[in-house]
Amino acid sequence: MMMKEQQHPLWLRASADGDREAFGALYHDTRSRLFGVALMMMNSRNLAEDALQEAYIRIWHNAAEYHAERGSVVTWMTSIVRYRCLDMLRAQGTREKYVVAVAEPADEPQAIHTETSTDGTETGFTAENDSMQLCLGELSTQERQTISLVYYQGLSHHEIVAHTDHALGSVKSWIRRGLDKLKRCIQRELSE
Amino acid sequence: MNYLNEERLDVLASRYVVGQMKGQARSRFRTLMQTYQKVRERVWYWERLLSPMNDSIPPRQPDDAVWAAIEQRLWPDAAISTTLAANDEPSVTSPRWQILLPVAASLLLGVLLIAQINRDPAAVPMVTEVAVIQSDNQPLWLVEMTATQMTVRATQQVEQRNDADYELWIVPADGTAPVSLGLIPESGSLTRDRLAALDTLQIAALAVSREQPGGSVTGLPGEVLFTAQLTTL
């Protein structure tokens, strides 16, 4: 039987041709993963659902623009959700509260959530995911923490400074160095 | 500055994907993405590189109302009749709307003010701001804000476009980039949560732009068609 992940490109192509049922299938198979991303970034169920709604509208209208160079269908869809969340966060200017619980894998490897979603889709368990977790473990605590705050919660530099009491220059430097290390590490891991 | 220098481009693309860019820098970079394939490819590279980070986020179930709202926005012909029946809202073809359509925006605003005064505050959320977007004194959209929601109603004067969507924007008074309030309907009405930007920004005006289907991909308005003042009630 074809894995649902393998059906995503088929559903997306059919959506580009106007197939509403295919788009519904794609929505119901991916909504939990994408909503998890939106909820973590927006820290508000209402705002996250608003971002999710906008993102799927854009996915429907731009379905024909997807191609393999964008990564998997879910990678492409997740990017659309993330950018919508970032736009909303930047438009808000400030957020009411920060989510301070950032995974801190200094003493143990960061947990990979491998639960099965309510849609029946599995998350995690990919070679890329393994490499990412390994490479995140090679970063310093500050590098890992600042990248997590930016990527997972959409915090700006100044919000991170306010949140962590570190100097702006240090925050920027940790993110830059951390991303550099991640890039080199993942390239190395995937080429081996 | 040469943005297409490999090293510089790599830094900018990673910053864009991670979410470090904001404001004008973000807008400028999106313009570069639209212009140069090389820039787009570098962004896609970073999106793929960092995508495994998303796999560690636990999935969460959105409310069923999200799909219902998506269906209504994408296929209003199929969804709007049942929605209107369920909500007992006036149809855009009802006699009341036919009377109001030729009326100038100022008169419509007056009607709204009276309606606002006559509303039972316990039954209906209080409308706090209103705008009438018009062309040649013909009202096109009515925008109503409450403390928690924004409702946009289209009149029959709105040109139906298959090749474009209409997007609503806040034009900030401080001259910074417009902020999107999302796509607005060509017919019927749409209600969504009030964006916090409405409360944090000094608003000079609202604007409606014509965008490719799905809305602006640059984060900035395309061709601005109409503007309107947002009136506080």
Give the pLDDT of residue B108.
Answer: 55
Residue B15 Cα, gap to closest chain A Cα (Å)? 8
The reply to whether B85 and B146 lie within a common domain is no
Residues A36 and B58 sit within 8 Å (Cβ to Cβ): yes
Among B219, B71, B214, smallest CA distance to A58 is for B214
What Cα–Cα distance (Å) separates residue B179 from each residue in A20, A81, A92, A126, B54?
A: 30, 17, 9, 37, 26
Residues A55 and A78 sit within 8 Å (Cβ to Cβ): no
Buried b (16+ CB within 10 A) or exposed e, B178-203: bbbbbbbbbebbbebebbbbbeebeb
In total, the C-beta contacts within 8 angstroms joining chain A to chain B are 174
Is residue B127 scored above 80 in pLDDT? no
Q: How many CA atoms lie within 13 A of A138 on its CB side?
A: 18
Look over chain B and give the mean of its residue pLDDT values, rounded to a whole number. Answer: 77
Residue B180 carries which DSSP code?
E
- Evaluate whether residue B193 is within a structural domain: yes
Q: How many CA atoms lie within 13 A of A76 on its CB side?
A: 21
Most confident stretch, A122-126, A130-134, B83-87: A130-134
What is the rounded CA–CA span in Å between residue B177 and residue B13?
21
- Evaluate whether residue B1 is within a structural domain: no
Is residue A85 scored above 90 in pLDDT? yes
Burial of A17 (0-12, 13-18, 19+ CB in 10 A): exposed
The reply to whether A105 and A176 lie within a common domain is yes
Give the pLDDT of residue B97.
Answer: 37
Give the pLDDT of residue B112.
Answer: 54
- Mean pLDDT along residues A85-95: 75
Residue B157 carries which DSSP code?
T
Q: Which residues in chain A have their CB less than 8 angstroms from residue B67's CB?
A: 24, 27-28, 31
pLDDT band at A1 (very low <50, low <70, confident <90, very high): very low
Q: Which residues constitute the domain of residue A77?
A: 4-92
From A80, which residue of chain B is nearest by alpha-carbon distance? B217
Give the pLDDT of residue B107.
Answer: 54
Q: Which residues in chain A have their CB less than 8 angstroms from residue B58's CB?
A: 36, 113, 115, 123
Q: How many CA atoms lie within 13 A of A109 on its CB side?
A: 11
Q: Which residues in chain A have their CB less than 8 angstroms from residue B74's CB?
A: 20, 57, 60
The reply to whether A187 and A138 lie within a common domain is yes
Among B23, B29, B30, smallest CA distance to B176 is for B23
From the centroid of its chain, how far is CA A143?
A: 18
Give the pLDDT of residue A31.
Answer: 97
B51 part of contact set with chain A, CB < 8 Å: yes
The reply to whether A88 and A115 lie within a common domain is no
Q: Which residues in chain A have their CB less than 8 angstroms from residue B19's CB?
A: 82, 86, 150-151, 154
What percent of chain A has pLDDT above 90? 52
pLDDT band at A32 (very low <50, low <70, confident <90, very high): very high
Give the pLDDT of residue B84.
Answer: 38
The reply to whether B79 and B156 lie within a common domain is no
B11 part of contact set with chain A, CB < 8 Å: yes
Q: Which residues in chain A have their CB less than 8 angstroms from residue B214's CB?
A: 57-58, 60-62
Is residue B70 scored above 80 in pLDDT? yes
- Mean pLDDT along residues B150-174: 85
* Helix intervals (H) in B101-219: 105-118, 197-200
The reply to whether A87 and A104 lie within a common domain is no
* Probe site for chain B from A151, A171, A186, A187 (most B CB atoms < 10 A): A151
Crossing angle between the packed helical segments B37-50 and A168-191, to the nearest 10 degrees: 80
- Mean pLDDT along residues A24-33: 96
Cβ–Cβ contacts within 10 Å for residue A27, how many?
23
* Probe site for chain B from A50, A116, A133 (most B CB atoms < 10 A): A50
**Nearest by CB: B22 against A40, A75, A156:** A156
Q: Structure tokens of B183?
A: 């796509």
The one-letter amino acid code at B37 reads Q
Asked whether the beta carbons of residue B192 and residue A57 sit closer than 8 angstroms, the reply is no
The reply to whether A71 and A152 lie within a common domain is no
For A137-191, write each residue's pLDDT tens digit. Answer: 899 999 999 998 999 888 888 888 888 888 999 999 999 999 999 999 988 887 7
Residue B142: φ, ψ to 5°: -110, 125
Among A36, A158, A4, A24, smallest CA distance to A94 is for A158
The reply to whether B147 and B205 lie within a common domain is yes
pLDDT band at A107 (very low <50, low <70, confident <90, very high): very low
Which helix (DSSP H) or strand (DSSP E) does residue A11 occupy?
A: helix A4-16
**Nearest by CB: A60 against B47, B65, B74:** B74
The reply to whether A64 and A122 lie within a common domain is no
The reply to whether A147 and A85 lie within a common domain is no
Residue A69: φ, ψ to 5°: -65, -15
For B86-126, write each residue's pLDDT tens digit. Answer: 443 333 333 333 334 444 455 555 555 555 545 544 555 67
Give the pLDDT of residue B114.
Answer: 56
B19 part of contact set with chain A, CB < 8 Å: yes
For B176-214, write each residue's pLDDT tens digit. Answer: 788 888 889 888 888 888 887 787 778 888 999 888 888
What is the rounded CA–CA span in Å between residue B22 and residue B15?
10
Which of A53, A73, A92 delimits the end of a domain?
A92
What is the rounded CA–CA span in Å between residue A78 and residue A36?
10
Q: Which residues in chain A have their CB less than 8 angstroms from residue B61's CB?
A: 31-32, 35, 118
Which of the residue ranges A33-47, B18-32, B75-89, B137-151 would you say has the lowest mean pLDDT? B75-89
Q: Which residues constitute the domain of residue B118?
A: 93-232
Asked whether the beta carbons of residue A154 and residue B70 sit closer than 8 angstroms, the reply is no
The reply to whether B15 and B99 lie within a common domain is no
Give the pLDDT of residue A3.
Answer: 65
| pLDDT greater at residue B131 or residue B109 | B131
For A45-62, write each residue's pLDDT tens digit. Answer: 999 999 999 999 999 999
The reply to whether A85 and A118 lie within a common domain is no
The reply to whether A104 and A78 lie within a common domain is no
* Structural domains in chain A (count): 2
The reply to whether A57 and A15 lie within a common domain is yes
Look over chain A and give the mean of its residue pLDDT values, rounded to a whole number. Answer: 81
Give the pLDDT of residue A97.
Answer: 44
Q: Structure tokens of B59?
A: 């999935």
Asked whether the beta carbons of residue B52 and residue A176 sit closer than 8 angstroms, the reply is no
| pLDDT greater at residue B32 or residue B232 | B32
Give the pLDDT of residue B196.
Answer: 77
* Structural domains in chain B (count): 3
Scanning B89-148 for CB atoms below 8 A from A yields none
pLDDT band at B3 (very low <50, low <70, confident <90, very high): low
Residue B82 Cα, gap to closest chain A Cα (Å)? 18
